[in-house]
Each structure stands twice: as structure tokens, then as C-alpha cells.
């Protein structure tokens, strides 16, 4: 080109992507050429440059489409008529017709090759496996080809002529990226072509899925349903006005002549925010949390103080926990992602509204007064208006439970026994409630064994000063025997439990105007409520509340008090031996799926109570082992 010569160098780079090594090697080669050309005095070089854009590095060009740079890979598949209709929700003819429309559009736009959206897959896998993100451009050149066969089947191929990938060197040696490569068997020498095949397979799958969604009109509908194209009028603080609170008071008192004259926000030291709401609020950009207000009711001098609890969506909670797991360990993240919709958080934004709407006195007497449970799906608004819990004893006492007396333990146990009596032995009736989801049982708990394994391993690796190798081995022994002991849990009568019954969600209030009357329980934050043994709530209460130097005699007294109270309330005999066994099984259940989740959260948000409860829990478990050995139990 004029007085310039463009020279192309072709290299084999093994299992490395090779951009840096080819630059260095070319520079050395040019130095060698210049040195050799000194023997030809009639030809002089003024200068040379490594790279003048003929290499197509990180560019979309026809040269990359025809000749390629990196790995050339082809993926193919055959889709039967049955698969097209059952999986992709289209007929083969619909899919092929849509493909032809894409061909026309691709030609009209001057596209290099033809594909639907393979760049999504390539960018995601490049990020996860330590590839050069800037090479997504040239790597995302592809050519999708479809045939409609005589058997009314779709034959599909996707050719990626310029996939710049490596299984060694560069970002592939980073810890998390290497872990991802290992998960798909593509780490180290000899694996770059396998990685290219994996990418090509996912690209073909995504193109067929997206093309099918467009052909069946699901593409735009899905975006509309999931909110990307649908503006959501999220709840704002300004919506919590006189009209809103008037509606709440009308709902509670069942009277329409109540008017709110004024609404004033309050500033208080503690709002009683749940762990779930607190952690999720940091991840989303909308109104979520606890908001106290003072309401001036017409004709009433004393203001009414309320707490408005605005709940995050279950998907937002699940995403927050998934983010935590991802930052802890890639293996934990993978296991969590597999079971994220079946570990008790699905439906949590609606569940508490349903639970708090109960009118049974046995529940109402042991929970905060709820004036209104309000939901608006179109605004993603799920709101509780409750009493502002003032003048409470032991409010938010999780960090320091030294103030818990025998009276508090007994009132808590009697109060939760009242709640348990409402649904005791009515598992089938509870299962019909739409807000009960994924209640634990032997089958679904055993299915999540990998998740429990990874939670235990993370806890020991992150906090070895608290959890020893011996503790981890004991944990695994209990985990791997879960099929046997969870069958025992399934055979025992269950009820609706709080499932987060600990000092973060418990307070006490004395009756009477002077606050000197009988003590009563006030249990709040019921978002994790589920169907389980009633002993589960007691076991969690003791794990989180007892001091490490507790007396085992007190534990036995509390277990028996719980049984006697429930027995009296339901008017039926409860076998003492089976009840005691149920408490042991609930401790084991807490070992597997509750304490480990708290430890994961503690990795990101310091909880002062963690060291204490782990010490208490270990002693409780040790005492159970001694008791079982003495009683001759397995």
C-alpha cells in the first residue's frame, strides 16, 4: 500500500488466547528482519509498527468471518416437532419462518454473518472464565443456519469462526475464574478447544430460545412481565399520607368515621428491622424498611404511633442472598443458585402479610397489633401498618441476653405454645394456604445436601476460630444421616412455626396502664413462617438466648413446659418421649440449615451475638449426645 508493506504473521498459541505473546513475538521477528535486511543496502526501512489494524484484533471484520482468529468451532442439533412444541412453544415451521425473516433483516443491515444474540453468552462466559472481554466483538461473529427437514424437524448449526479463548494464561489464573473453568472441566492445558465447544453449545441454545420466543410473541411479553419495559410506580414516602393511614384505621376498627388530621414521621433509635429487610435494602433502589409515624386522629388528643413495614420482594431477597453466596465461594454460589427458590424465601413478601392478618386471639395476643396488611402487585408494594412497639422489655436483645429471666423464658414459651396450638396437627390444612411454600421435609432437605455441604465448609473456612475441623466432621455426619432422622420429623405432628424465633424478633410488654400487669409475648417479623415441629421455635429460642454456662436442668424444664402448655391448649395428650426426641431433631435441623446461613450473613454484616450462640449451640449438642448415650438412643 504505497510505500508501506503490511505483513501478516500466523501463530499457533497452544491453549492460550495469545494476544500478548503474539505481540511480543512479532516485535522480535521484526527486529530479526531488520537485522537481516542490512545485507541488502538497496532496501532501507525507515520504521516499523506492530499492529496497523490488519490483524482484526478486537474488531468485527469480514476477514475474521472468513479466516478467523483463535478457534473455529461448529455446534449443531436436531429439533423434533415434539421438542419444538413442548420446549420452545413453537412449531418447526414457525421457527423456520422467523429465521428467514432474520436473514432478510441481516442482509439489509450489512451484518457480518447472522446470529440472534450470541454476544450475551460470550460476554458472560468470558467474564466468568477470565477471557479478554475486549475480544467479545470479534468472538461474537457467528453464522446461524436452519433447515426445515422433510420430517418436519429443524436442523440447526452455529459456526463461530473467530472465538478468541484460552484455558491457560491471562485472567484464567485468577482464583474465581479458574474455579469457574474447573467447574466445566476446561482449566489448564489441552482444554481451550473444549471451552470453545461449551461456548458454542450455549450460543446455539440461546439463539434457538430467543428466536422461538420472538416467533411465538413471548419475547416482548416476557420483558413486559419482568418489568424491563414496564415502569413501576414504586411506593414513595409521600404515599404514606393521611389518606393512607385513614384507610388503615378504617380497616382495623371496621368504622368509616375515623379521620386522620395529621401525619408526622418519627425519629427513634431502633426500628426493629429484620435481617432480611435490612440486608436487602442495601441492594435495591426503592422504598424498603421500617418507617415510624405519629398519627393525629380527629377528636382524640393522644396521638397514635405506628410502624410502617415496607417489604422487599422475595426475588430481591433471593438475589441479595445469591450475591452473598457469590462473594463467599463459587461452589457455594453454584449450589445456592440451584436451590435459591426452595430454601424458604420464596413468597416471603406476601407470607408475613397473610400471617399478620390472622384474627385468632391466640395469635393476636402474642404479636404486634396490625392495623392493615396492604399489597399492590402493580406497584410492588407489600406493606404492614402495625403498632409502634414502645415500652417493651428486651427489645432487640440478641446481642446481650443477660437480661432474660426465668419469667421471660416462661412467657415466651407459653406465648408461642398458644400460637402453635392454632394449627397443631393440621399440616394438610396449612398446605392448602398459598403463602406456605417449600415447607421442609425429608425429600426436599436431602435434595439440597450439596448446598448444606457448601454452607458448612464456608463456615469452617471463614471462621476457624469458632468452628473447628472436628465441628465440621460432626456437622457432615449429621448431614449425611439426614434421610433417616428427617423421616422421624415427617412422622411427628407439625404446626405453623415462626421459624425465626429468637431475640431479634421477640419483645415483651406488661399489661395495664401503669405497665405493671402480667407480662405477654410480642413476636414479630413472621416472613419466614413455615410448617414444622413446634419444638423448632423453642430450640432456636434457646440457642440464641441461653448463656453458654446454662444449666441442662433448665433446658429440660423449658422443653417440658412447652409440651404441657400445648397439651393443655389442644386438649389432647402429647407423648413426652416423642416430644423430647422432636426437640433433639430440631436442634439437628438448626445445625444444617439455619446457623450456617447466619454465619454466611455474618461474613458481610457483623453480628455481635455470633460467638455466643455458637458456644451455646455446641454445648446444647454435646449435652444431647451425652443424654442420648445415657438413654441408649441412637
Residues, the chain: 634
143, pLDDT greater than 90: yes
Give residue-wise pLDDT tens across range 14-36.
888 888 888 899 999 999 988 88
Q: Given 226, 253, 269, which residue is the final one in a domain?
A: 226
Is residue 20 a part of any domain in this protein?
Answer: no
What CATH number is given to the structural domain containing 104?
A: 3.90.770.10
Residues 306 and 199 in one domain: no
One domain, residues 339 and 382: yes
What is the SS3 assignment for 16?
Answer: strand
Same domain for 207 and 111: yes
- 286: its cell numbers: 426503592
380 plus 511 within the same structural domain: yes
Burial 608-617, CB ≥16 within 10 A → b, else e: ebbebbbebb
Decide if 231 is inside a domain: no
Answer whether residue 163 shows pLDDT above 60.
yes
Give the C-alpha separation, 579 to 536, whole Å: 11
Structural domains counted in the chain: 2
Q: Map grid coordinates 384507610 to a residue.
A: 247
Same domain membership, residue 97 and residue 165: yes
pLDDT (tens digit per residue) in 175-207: 999 999 999 999 999 999 999 999 999 999 999
Domain that holds residue 616: 261-631
Q: From start to end of 134-200, where are the E strands? A: 143-148, 154-163
Contact assessment for residue 295 and residue 275, using Cβ atoms and an 8 Å cutoff: no
Q: What is the spatial distance between Cα 359 and Cα 370, in angstroms, rounded to a whole number?
A: 10
Q: Grid coordinates standing for 507?
A: 419483645
Q: For residue 242, tell me if it sits in a domain.
A: no
Residue 143 in any domain: the answer is yes
Residue 9 inside a domain? The answer is: no
Are residue 168 and residue 278 in the same domain, yes or no? no
Could you tell me if 320 and 349 are in contact, meaning their C-beta atoms sit under 8 angstroms apart? no
Over residues 493-517, the mean pLDDT reads: 90
Q: Does residue 269 form part of some domain?
A: yes
pLDDT for the residue 332: 86
**Confidence at 55, pLDDT banded by 50, 70, 90:** confident
Instruction: Kindly indicate the confidence band of residue 346, based on its pLDDT and cuts at 50, 70 and 90.
Output: very high
pLDDT in tens, 385-397: 999 998 899 999 9
- The number of angstroms, rounded, from the C-alpha of 488 to the middle of its chain's C-alpha atoms is 29
Contacts of 601 (CB under 8 A, 6+ apart): 275, 279, 324, 607
CB-based contact 21:13 (threshold 8 Å): yes
Q: Are residues 221 and 268 in the same domain?
A: no
Q: How far apart are CA 68 and CA 61, in angstroms?
A: 10
202 and 299 in a single domain? The answer is no
- Domain edge (last residue) among 226, 252, 273: 226
- Res 420 pLDDT > 90: yes
Whether residue 170 has pLDDT greater than 80? yes
Amino acid at each position: 500500500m504505497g510505500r508501506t508493506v503490511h505483513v501478516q504473521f500466523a501463530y499457533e498459541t497452544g491453549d492460550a488466547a495469545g494476544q500478548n505473546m503474539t505481540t511480543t513475538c512479532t516485535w522480535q521477528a521484526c527486529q530479526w528482519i531488520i537485522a537481516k535486511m542490512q545485507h541488502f543496502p538497496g532496501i532501507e526501512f525507515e520504521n516499523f509498527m506492530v499492529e496497523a489494524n490488519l490483524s482484526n484484533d478486537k474488531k468485527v471484520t469480514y476477514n475474521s468471518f472468513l479466516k478467523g482468529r483463535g478457534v473455529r468451532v461448529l455446534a449443531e442439533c436436531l429439533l423434533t416437532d415434539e421438542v419444538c412444541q413442548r420446549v420452545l412453544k413453537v412449531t418447526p415451521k414457525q421457527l423456520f419462518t422467523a429465521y428467514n425473516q432474520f436473514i432478510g433483516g441481516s442482509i439489509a443491515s450489512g451484518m457480518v454473518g447472522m446470529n440472534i444474540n450470541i454476544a450475551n453468552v460470550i460476554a458472560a462466559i468470558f467474564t466468568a472464565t477470565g477471557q479478554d472481554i475486549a475480544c467479545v466483538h470479534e468472538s461474537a461473529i457467528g453464522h446461524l443456519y436452519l433447515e426445515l427437514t422433510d420430517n418436519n424437524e429443524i436442523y440447526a448449526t452455529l459456526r463461530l469462526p473467530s472465538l478468541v479463548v484460552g484455558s491457560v494464561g491471562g485472567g484464567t489464573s485468577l482464583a474465581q475464574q479458574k474455579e469457574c473453568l474447573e467447574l466445566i472441566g476446561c482449566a489448564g492445558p489441552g482444554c481451550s478447544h473444549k471451552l470453545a465447544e461449551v461456548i458454542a453449545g450455549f450460543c446455539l441454545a440461546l439463539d434457538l430460545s430467543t428466536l422461538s420466543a420472538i416467533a411465538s410473541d413471548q419475547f416482548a411479553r416476557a420483558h413486559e412481565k419482568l418489568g424491563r419495559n414496564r415502569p413501576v410506580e414504586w411506593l414513595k414516602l409521600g404515599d404514606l399520607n393521611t389518606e393512607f393511614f385513614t384507610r388503615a384505621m378504617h380497616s382495623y376498627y371496621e368504622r368509616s368515621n375515623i379521620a386522620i388530621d395529621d401525619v408526622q414521621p418519627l425519629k427513634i433509635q431502633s426500628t426493629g428491622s429484620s435481617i432480611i429487610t435490612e440486608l436487602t435494602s442495601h441492594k435495591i433502589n426503592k422504598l424498603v424498611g421500617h418507617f415510624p409515624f405519629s398519627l393525629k386522629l380527629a377528636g382524640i388528643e393522644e396521638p397514635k404511633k405506628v410502624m410502617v413495614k415496607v417489604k422487599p420482594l422475595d426475588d430481591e431477597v433471593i438475589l441479595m442472598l445469591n450475591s452473598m453466596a457469590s462473594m463467599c465461594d463459587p461452589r457455594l454460589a453454584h449450589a445456592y443458585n440451584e436451590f435459591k427458590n426452595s430454601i424458604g424465601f420464596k413468597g416471603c413478601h406476601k407470607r408475613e402479610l397473610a400471617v399478620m392478618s390472622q384474627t385468632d386471639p391466640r395469635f393476636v395476643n402474642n404479636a404486634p397489633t396490625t392495623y392493615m396488611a396492604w399489597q399492590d402487585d402493580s406497584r410492588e408494594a407489600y406493606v404492614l401498618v402495625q403498632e409502634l412497639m414502645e415500652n417493651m422489655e428486651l427489645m432487640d436483645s440478641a446481642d446481650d441476653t443477660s437480661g432474660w429471666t426465668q419469667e421471660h423464658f416462661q412467657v415466651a414459651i407459653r406465648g408461642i405454645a398458644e400460637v402453635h396450638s392454632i394449627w397443631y396437627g393440621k399440616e394438610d390444612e396449612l398446605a392448602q394456604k398459598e403463602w406456605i411454600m417449600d415447607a421442609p421435609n425429608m425429600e426436599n432437605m436431602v435434595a439440597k445436601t450439596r448446598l448444606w455441604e457448601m454452607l458448612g465448609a464456608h463456615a469452617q473456612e471463614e471462621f476457624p476460630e469458632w468452628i473447628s475441623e472436628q465441628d465440621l466432621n460432626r456437622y457432615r455426619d449429621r448431614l449425611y444421616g439426614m434421610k433417616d432422622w428427617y423421616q422421624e420429623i415427617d412422622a411427628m405432628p407439625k404446626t405453623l412455626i415462626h421459624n425465626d424465633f429468637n431475640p431479634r424478633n421477640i419483645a415483651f410488654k406488661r399489661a395495664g396502664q401503669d405497665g405493671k400487669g402480667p407480662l405477654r409475648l410480642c413476636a414479630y417479623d413472621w416472613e419466614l413462617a413455615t410448617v414444622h415441629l413446634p419444638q423448632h421455635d423453642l430450640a432456636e429460642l434457646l440457642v440464641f438466648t441461653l448463656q453458654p454456662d446454662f444449666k441442662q436442668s433448665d433446658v429440660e424444664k423449658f422443653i417440658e413446659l412447652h409440651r404441657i402448655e400445648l397439651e393443655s391448649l389442644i386438649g389432647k395428650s402429647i407423648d413426652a418421649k416423642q416430644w423430647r426426641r422432636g426437640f433433639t431433631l430440631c436442634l439437628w435441623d438448626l445445625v444444617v440449615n439455619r446457623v450456617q446461613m447466619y454465619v454466611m450473613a455474618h461474613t458481610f454484616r457483623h453480628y455481635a451475638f455470633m460467638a455466643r450462640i455458637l458456644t451455646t449451640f455446641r454445648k446444647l449438642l454435646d449435652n444431647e449426645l451425652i443424654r442420648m448415650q445415657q438413654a441408649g438412643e441412637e
